[in-house]
Amino acid sequence: IMDKKEALELVESFDDNEIKKIPKDLWKDRDFVGLASVINGSVLQFADQSLRNDGSLVAHIATQNGSALRYAGETLRKDRDFAIKCVTLDGLLLRELDTKFKKDKEVIVEAIAQTSAAWWDVDESVREDLKNDPDISGLLPDHFFNDN
């Protein structure tokens, strides 16, 4: 029987063949999944589906390791409230969210309010229109809109 410490050592190897040796019951353990995913965001893919759709757990993990969002459960990846929660914690998480949220004004405003750098992850198809939106332009420095 593998304990959490041994399993975390496998997670730290970043070797999927080693990580796959971790017993299934540990992938149902919320604390283990949280720790493991902060170390190596890609291991969230091995977690039990219920944990991959646990918004508070995945949002916490994502603030430590944004790449983990790619492995969040499908339900969570489509959830607008979850998207807003993520960008409120870290605006740069917009980069890891579903494309539809990169076009969603409310999500974008929350992300940019957190960090103006999130602007560069806004979908280009809406960027031009949003430049003139007072909710957005008021959050960004003027040099973001200069073409040179």
Prediction pTM value: 0.84
The predicted-structure confidence for 70-107, as pLDDT tens digits, reads as follows 999 999 999 999 999 999 999 999 999 999 999 999 99
What's the whole-number mean pLDDT along residues 51-70?
93
pLDDT > 70 in the chain, percent: 97
Average of per-residue pLDDT across 136-142 = 88
Output the DSSP codes for the chain: ---HHHHHHHHHTT-HHHHTTS-GGGGG-HHHHHHHHHH-GGGGGGS-HHHHT-HHHHHHHHHH-GGGGGGS-HHHHT-HHHHHHHHHH-GGGGGGS-GGGGS-HHHHHHHHHH-GGGGGGS-HHHHHHHHT-HHHHTTS-GGGG---
Section 42-61 average pLDDT: 95
Q: Is the pLDDT of residue 27 over 80?
A: yes
